[in-house]
Amino acid sequence: MADTNDAVQDTTTTTDGTNNGATDSTAKIFATKAEAEANKPDPLGKKKLFSVTRPDGTTRWTWSPGYTNAAAEIAREDGYMVSTGTAKEVTREQVAAKLATFTDDELAAMGLSRKKAKKSQT
């Protein structure tokens, strides 16, 4: 499958200590191998040229210290995010408690309003 997107894309890469020795940088992603080779980073360091093929068949090229980093750079470009999954779910009760702290004007600014209390009939 041919790819018609020939633009070089800058993807900001923020990493921690588990990234095979790579540091925070801006990953350059290329549509063709020739374009990537013409933009070889200086200094090269431990980086090699990697191709990453997406499920739709398009291939991107990037200079990276390892294949996992290269895959991560392309995934980040595609909008993927990774987390440890330790964030707790927000409950309905927590949302209701937070909404109760807002004034009517603050709720209106968000396009919300309070539910009118029903009058009790006896």
Helix (H, G, I), strand (E, B) or coil at 119: coil
Burial call 75-104: b when 16+ CB within 10 Å, e when fewer: ebbeeeeeeeeeeeeeeeeeeeeeeeeeee
Residuewise pLDDT in 10s, the chain (122 residues):
444 444 445 444 444 434 444 444 568 999 999 999 999 998 889 999 999 999 999 999 999 999 999 999 999 999 998 888 888 888 999 999 999 999 999 999 999 888 877 776 66
**CA R_g for the chain:** 24
Task: Say what the pTM is.
Answer: 0.51
Distance of alpha carbon 31 from alpha carbon 85, whole angstroms: 33
